Amino acid sequence: MSRKPQRRSGEEIGGHVLVELLGSGGNAEVWRARGPSGGVAMKLVRARRGEPYARFQREVEQLRLLGDMPGILPYLDSHLPDEPTAKDPAWLTMPIAQPLRDALGPDPTAEVVVSAIAAITKTLASIHAIGVSHRDVKPDNLYMSDERWLIGDFGLVDAPNVEPLTEGAVNLGPRHYLAPEMILSPHTADGAAADVYSLGKTLWVLLTNQAFPLPGEHRLDVELFRLTTYSTHKGLASLERLLETMTRTDPRGRPSAERIADELTQWSAPRRTVATGADLSDFVRRAQEAVRYQLTEDERQANRKHRVEALMSKFAKEAEVVSRQCRASGLPVTAFYGGKYGDFDVDASDYLSENLGVLATTQVMGEDPPESRSAGLIIQVHEKAPMLKLWIGLAAIPRLDPEVILIAGSSIAYWGGRHRGLWSEQRRTVLGGPGERASVADLLDEMISRLPSDAEAWANALEEDSGRR
Ligand SMILES: Nc1ncnc2c1ncn2[C@@H]1O[C@H](COP(=O)(O)OP(=O)(O)O)[C@@H](O)[C@H]1O
Ligand SMILES: [Mg+2]
């Protein structure tokens, strides 16, 4: 922000002489000043009343409490008049420190960046532990002094038992670094989780040497977010995964600052060499499996839906072939493919629970995910009697365990307002695994072989029923 400075060098304020402007943020000018005990950084807030001034008062109050903690840019002195004027402004002094980007230099190595952010994260973890959150984490608010990495600018701090200051739905925090919940509900959002999000953006910006972060979740499958798109450093893969969790849209899915600090510290620790010849293939397989489970729920569902659809639409094509053969031999059959249990004109759960013992277990019913698909054949002798039909087909029903799928074959006869399950058989297999196609093939065979006898059983029931009328 390049506004004209409000103060001039040489001006005297509260026993200090302003020397040069060190920087300015959204709310304040910070000057190098000479005071009774040497050089200091003097923060002069632009606002003199209302909420922005109240915020500065809070910043000073909180910094007084926190300023002695290691890793926090220390508090030296302050002046907070009830009604500040141009001649008697409010101010805060602190030691002069070097802004983080300057301290890192133009092209820092990943090791240097990670160890700086590890230190910052430890400090964040220690303030989070006492219920305080910073809510303005970004490179511009981080410093180095005496070989220590420090957090500064507590202008948006949130602490226990302090009232929110911003009225209404004003979004609060660092643009580009801001967690989504701080846009939607800054007063109720968990400041610690928002810090973790902003910290993730900070880490990414520094590792990729970019001016600003990209908005949103750092998904591993999006090239633009991946660190390896910007850097050839060999050890970035484990950081990608950490960044993905830190920037989750749902704050509950983000790790704590404490855990991140551990991971980053471990990452920067010197690595031992792996014994050559060790067989790591089992580890790789297990790790891959674990990563798959860690995909976000949305991705998991989309993935599952895609696989279920691929499986069942293939089956539907085979059912179509069968239906053509049946029609050729005079049987009025149509093939279908649809969601859940197909296009039923009765409530699926209702008749399944009544008629298909096995299928009726709650494990199958009640909580079927929307990705369930069914396909098969419907035999209907008269178009004006849609409730007189035989349904025979397969349903693919993903289970709670995202990798497991239940493939259920069933045949249901409808007549005279009633219905009865003639066949019910199920296979539980790993979605996308080798057993999946085999199960479908087995059930298809079974479906074809029992089609004539089921059709006959259904015709008998129809006949009996009409005989009774
Ligand atoms: N102690 C300090 N030492 C050196 N520069 C500082 C110091 N404090 C602030 N600055 C500079 O002033 C800028 C604004 O300070 P900051 O406290 O972040 O104000 P704001 O609340 O307006 O964002 C910083 O980005 C930095 O460049
Ligand atoms: Mg600032």
Residue 402 is predicted with a pLDDT of: 67
Pocket perturbation via mutation, ligand 1, pick of 22, 46, 138 by most ligand atoms within 8 A of CB: 22
> What DSSP element (H or E) covers 22?
strand 16-24
Residue 192 has pLDDT above 80, yes or no: yes
d(CA 188, CA 199): 20
Using CA positions, which residue lies closest to atom 20 of ligand 1? 25
Per-residue HEC secondary structure of 397-425 comes to: EECCCCCEEEEEEEEEEEECCEEEEEEEE
Residue 467 is predicted with a pLDDT of: 76
Over range 219-229, report the average pLDDT: 92
Q: Please list the helix, strand and coil fractions of the chain in percent, rounded to the nearest 5, in that order.
A: 40, 20, 40
Q: Is the CB of 21 within 6 Å of ligand 1? A: no
Q: Count other C-beta atoms under 10 Å from residue 332's C-beta.
A: 14
Q: Is the CB of 41 within 6 Å of ligand 1? A: yes
- Cα distances (Å, whole numbers) of residue 346 to 60, 198, 343, 386, 415: 68, 51, 9, 11, 13
- Confidence band, pLDDT 50/70/90 cuts, at residue 15: very high
DSSP result, 338-379: EETT-S-SS-HHHHHHHH-TTTTSTTTSS---TT-EEEEEEE
Residue 275 is predicted with a pLDDT of: 55
Topology (CATH) of 12-94: Phosphorylase Kinase; domain 1 (3.30.200)
d(CA 197, CA 137): 9
Q: Count other C-beta atoms under 10 Å from residue 283's C-beta.
A: 10
Q: Is the CB of 26 within 6 Å of ligand 1? A: yes
Extents of the domains making up the chain:
12-94, 98-269, 285-468
Using CA positions, which residue lies closest to atom 9 of ligand 1? 30
Q: Which ligand minimizes its atom distance to the CA of 136? A: 2
Residue 169 has pLDDT above 50, yes or no: no
Residue 182 is predicted with a pLDDT of: 92
Residue 204 has pLDDT above 70, yes or no: yes
Q: Which range among 9-13, 281-285, 323-327 shows the weakest confidence by mean pLDDT?
A: 281-285
Distance 104 CA to ligand 2 centre (A): 18
Q: Is the CB of 157 within 6 Å of ligand 1? A: no
The average confidence (pLDDT) of the chain is 84
d(CA 343, CA 107): 61
Q: What is the DSSP-derived secondary structure letter of residue 139?
A: G
Q: What is the pLDDT of residues 4-13, one digit of tens each?
A: 888 999 999 9
Residue 378 is predicted with a pLDDT of: 86
Q: Which range among 119-123, 258-262, 400-404 shows the weakest confidence by mean pLDDT?
A: 400-404
Q: Is the CB of 156 within 6 Å of ligand 1? A: no
Residue 14 has pLDDT above 90, yes or no: yes
- Confidence band, pLDDT 50/70/90 cuts, at residue 292: low
Written as one letter, the residue type at 259 is R
Q: Which ligand minimizes its atom distance to the CA of 40? A: 1
Residue 150 has pLDDT above 90, yes or no: yes
Residue 45 is predicted with a pLDDT of: 94
Dihedral over Cα of 446, 447, 451, 455: its sign: positive
d(CA 183, CA 171): 5
Residue 2 has pLDDT above 70, yes or no: no
Q: What is the pLDDT of residues 444-464, one digit of tens each?
A: 999 888 888 888 888 888 888
Domain 98-269 has CATH 1.10.510.10: yes
- Confidence band, pLDDT 50/70/90 cuts, at residue 277: low
Choose from 131-135, 266-270, 327-331 the range with maximum mean pLDDT: 131-135
Under 8 Å between Cβ of 196 and 246: yes
Residue 361 is predicted with a pLDDT of: 32
DSSP result, 268-300: HSPPPPPPTT---HHHHHHHHHHHHHHS-HHHH
Residue 345 is predicted with a pLDDT of: 36
The token pair at 377 is 């054949």
Residue 130 is predicted with a pLDDT of: 95
Place of tokens 């973790």: 196
Residue 124 is predicted with a pLDDT of: 98
Q: Is the CB of 173 within 6 Å of ligand 1? A: no
The token pair at 312 is 């069942």
Q: What is the pLDDT of residues 423-440, one digit of tens each?
A: 888 888 887 777 888 889
d(CA 179, CA 171): 10
- Cα distances (Å, whole numbers) of residue 365 to 92, 223, 338, 352: 65, 40, 17, 8
Residue 152 Cα: closest atom of ligand 1: 17
Pocket perturbation via mutation, ligand 1, pick of 3, 31, 43 by most ligand atoms within 8 A of CB: 43
pTM for the model stands at 0.61
Q: What is the pLDDT of residues 352-369, one digit of tens each?
A: 444 443 343 333 344 556
Of the two residues 195 and 307, the one the predictor is more confident about is 195
Residue 108 has pLDDT above 90, yes or no: yes
- Confidence band, pLDDT 50/70/90 cuts, at residue 301: confident
For the chain, give the percent of residues with pLDDT over 70: 85
Assign 167 to helix, strand or coil.
Answer: coil
- Confidence band, pLDDT 50/70/90 cuts, at residue 389: confident
Long-range contacts of 216-219 (CB under 8 A, 24+ apart): 216/247, 216/249, 217/244, 217/247, 217/248, 217/249, 217/296, 218/243, 218/244, 218/246, 218/247, 219/244
Over range 232-239, report the average pLDDT: 86
Residue 343 is predicted with a pLDDT of: 41
Under 8 Å between Cβ of 95 and 40: yes
- The CA-to-CA distance between both ends of the chain, in Å, stands at 88
Over range 174-178, report the average pLDDT: 87
Annotated binding residue 201: no
Distance 442 CA to ligand 1 centre (A): 71
Place of tokens 């909420």: 51
Using CA positions, which residue lies closest to atom 1 of ligand 1? 96
Residue 237 has pLDDT above 80, yes or no: yes
Residue 155 Cα: closest atom of ligand 1: 21
Residue 168 has pLDDT above 60, yes or no: no
Residue 170 has pLDDT above 90, yes or no: no
Over range 327-332, report the average pLDDT: 81
Under 8 Å between Cβ of 61 and 53: no
The token pair at 233 is 């450093």
Over range 295-307, report the average pLDDT: 75
Residue 462 is predicted with a pLDDT of: 84
Residue 188 has pLDDT above 80, yes or no: yes
d(CA 358, CA 365): 10
Return the exposure string of 199-237: e unless at least 16 CB atoms fall within 10 Å of the residue's CB, then b: bbbbbbbbbbeeeebbeebbbbeeeebbbeeeeeeeebe
